[in-house]
């Protein structure tokens, strides 16, 4: 079942964000069954800076805490495939991690604690990431990458302010 934590805001929700909620909850149900909820831990609520995909209603975080089997990495790959990607793990340049510990999809400085590794999975026009794998802030981050989608469609995309 899809559930929202009390802090989760749907302000500014965009159609692609709505699709993220539908697809991720459907994959959780398919992969995990009814005993584990698909819990949204963050939407466009205040923990993200203005201009981020979160603030634009295009990104959501999901709890991975209760997920044991299948492995979280396999669940994330299944989510990525549902968005039309191969689900293959995508390497995040080590240099980027050293220079800026902020995970992809978050503006610099918006995340102050990121002790665990980030894993990314090929997901078409979407970004599917496990952030802080094994750490206290471990979650699945899914966003619609407007810039990549526009580039693939030969269009220009301007984010909402």
Output the smallest distance, CB 139 to Zn ion, in A: 7
Out of 39, 44, 56, 61, name the contact with Zn ion by CB under 5 A: 61
Please give the C-alpha separations between residue 125 and each of 7, 32, 144, in angstroms, as whole numbers.
Answer: 27, 25, 6
By beta-carbon proximity to Zn ion, the closer residue of 119 and 141 is 141
Instruction: Give CA–CA dist 50/70, Å, rounded.
Output: 35
Options 1-9, 59-67, 76-84, 93-101: segment touching Zn ion (CB under 5 A): 59-67
Which candidate, 108, 99, 2, 91, places its Cα nearest to that of 49?
A: 108
Instruction: Give CA–CA dist 55/12, Å, rounded.
Output: 7
By beta-carbon proximity to Zn ion, the closer residue of 52 and 122 is 52
Phi and psi based region of residue 158 (left: phi greater than 0; alpha: psi -120 to 50; beta: remaining) = beta
Out of 141, 144, 145, 146, name the contact with Zn ion by CB under 5 A: 141
By beta-carbon proximity to Zn ion, the closer residue of 81 and 141 is 141
Q: Which residues, 6+ apart, have CB-to-CB distance to 1 below 8 Å?
A: 25, 34, 37, 38
By beta-carbon proximity to Zn ion, the closer residue of 39 and 61 is 61
39 near Zn ion, judged by CB under 5 A: no
Options 61-69, 70-78, 93-101, 119-127: segment touching Zn ion (CB under 5 A): 61-69
* Binding residues vs Zn ion (CB under 5 A): 61, 141
């Amino acid at each position: 079942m899809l559930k929202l934590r009390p802090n989760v805001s749907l302000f500014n929700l965009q159609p692609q964000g709505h699709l993220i909620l539908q697809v991720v909850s459907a994959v959780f149900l398919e992969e995990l069954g009814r005993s584990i909820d698909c819990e949204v831990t963050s939407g466009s609520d205040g923990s993200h800076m203005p201009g981020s995909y979160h603030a634009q209603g295009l990104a959501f975080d999901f709890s991975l805490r209760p997920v044991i089997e299948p492995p979280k990495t396999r669940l994330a790959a299944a989510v990525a495939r549902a968005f039309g990607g191969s689900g293959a793990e995508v390497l995040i340049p080590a240099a980027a991690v050293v220079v800026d510990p902020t995970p992809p999809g978050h503006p610099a400085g918006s995340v102050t604690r990121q002790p665990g590794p980030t894993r990314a999975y090929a997901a078409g026009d979407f970004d599917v990431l496990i952030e802080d794998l094994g750490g206290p802030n471990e979650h699945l981050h899914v966003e619609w990458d407007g810039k990549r989608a526009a580039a693939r469609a030969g269009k220009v995309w301007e984010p909402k302010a």
